[in-house]
Structure 1
Amino acid sequence: MSVLNKSAVSVPKSSIRRDVIRHRAALLDAATEVFAKDGIEAPLVEIARRAGVGRGTLYRHFPERIDLIVALLERNLDELEAQAADLADQPEGLLALIRTMINQDVDVAPLLDSDLIVPAPLLARFVAICRRPLEAARRAGVVRQDLDETDLLDLTVMAGSALRRWGLEERRVRAPRILALLLEGIRSDADGKSLDSDQPG
């Protein structure tokens, strides 16, 4: 009888795993919405509530606020990595990738707080993601020949910092203009001068 009872209440590991994945995704979705609207210091309990889970579940997945922030940045990199793989050898693939980056910045700009130090592995991963699309764009003459992956990282950070000054609705309005300015600046016909021709001082 005890064996039957044990069998009746046991939960398959696959079901538990699905719940873990589902809860994590729900928390990340909720965190994106809450941080985008209310900023990086928004109450974590509101994220748990919006995700439909308890605080215990939130802290099992993300013990500290920074763990949640890093997970959001990693998920954005996952999206960029998948897109880069699909567009890697297309001349205009880099421009599409940059559009995705700016669209992501609308939501994650509040995460780029001045006190946040983005882990070096995430920065290195971003640079690696950009490499093949950038090479294809340079070969096709779509972007300036002296543009490199670190330039793209700097430009993305600057765009995110600019958007961080605004609320969510204002970011949605400003993002297309920032994107247009960024793309105009990296195109091959933007300027014949080398990027190193004007040094400060």
Structure 2
Amino acid sequence: MCVTSSGRVNSGSLNRGPRDAARNRAALISAAREVFATQGFAAPLSLIARTAGVGQGSLYRHFPTRESLALAVFDENIVELQDLAADPDSTLDDLFRLLVDQITTSIVFVEVIKPVSFGDSRLNSAGARLTDLLEGRLDEARRTGKIRESVTAEDVILAIAMFAAIMERTAESSRKEVAHSAWNLLVQGLAGPAAAG
């Protein structure tokens, strides 16, 4: 916070300094999640810096590219999914519900799981983490007929990417309603005959 010579508080960019680097980084990730969700993935990075209350220099020190910022936001999503997957009582349905919620509220998730995403190997690697996470739950789902035996983790990722593309083009005010309908249709397509009937 900056105080002017007249004693007024300047509420502009708050550069918290190097000792607060971790707090700056967290603020930037939170701001990116919010701005990308409302303005789209092409939103100005300067807006993210302003929303976080830091200068653009601080943004670029932490995240030199838009893609590196996207990866940081995506990583938080993956950690949340990993925590859920680590719970022995969680199911594939639980993971799907969390994924749908993340995609509905996070445009970055949409960008990272696109089948072709920037040609950036780091983003491809991030998508692979999600594939590995899902694979751990698919065996049980196949055995119980929740998912057809032929369905692979890559198939599920493709279905999620299709769902994400719908969300990307849906107005924020309608996303939850559209998400419910679109995801139900995709799950029916993945389900075994008994589950679909």
CA apart distance, 1:183: 2.4
Q: Supply the RMSD in Å over aligned alpha carbons.
A: 2.4
Tell me, which stretches of 5 or more residues in structure 2 are unaligned?
1-17
CA apart distance, 1:177: 1.2
Aligned to 1:196: none
Residue 76 to residue 149, structure 1, CA distance change in 2 (3 Å): same
Of residues 62-71 and 114-123 in structure 1, the stretch that sits farther from structure 2 once superposed is 114-123
Q: Aligned pair 1:34/2:6, yes or no? A: no
Q: What is the TM-score when the length of structure 2 is the normalising length?
A: 0.77
CA contact (8 A) 2:138 2:153 kept: yes
Deviation digits for residues 127-163 of structure 1 (CA, Å, limit 9, x no counterpart): 1111121122223333222221111111111110111
Aligned to 1:161: 165
Paired letter, 1:93: T
Aligned to 2:58: 57
CA apart distance, 1:93: 0.8
Aligned to 2:103: 105
Deviation >4 Å, runs of 4+: none
Query: Identity percentage over the alignment?
Result: 35
Asked which structure has the greater RCO (Cα within 8 Å, sep 6+), the reply is 1
State the aligned residue count: 173
Q: Which aligned pairs between 1:7-18 and structure 2 lie closer than 5 A?
A: 16=19
How far, CA to CA, are the matches of 2:160 and 2:184 in structure 1? 13
How far, CA to CA, are the matches of 1:173 and 1:191 in structure 2? 21
CA apart distance, 1:190: 4.7
Aligned to 2:12: none
Aligned to 2:179: 175
Residue 130 to residue 48, structure 1, CA distance change in 2 (3 Å): same
CA contact (8 A) 2:145 2:195 kept: no
Of residues 172-181 and 152-161 in structure 1, the stretch that sits farther from structure 2 once superposed is 172-181
Aligned residue for 1:135, secondary structure, equals helix
Aligned residue for 1:147, secondary structure, equals coil
Q: Which aligned pairs between 1:120-139 and structure 2 lie closer than 5 A?
A: 120-139=124-143
Tell me, which stretches of 5 or more residues in structure 1 are unaligned?
1-14, 193-201
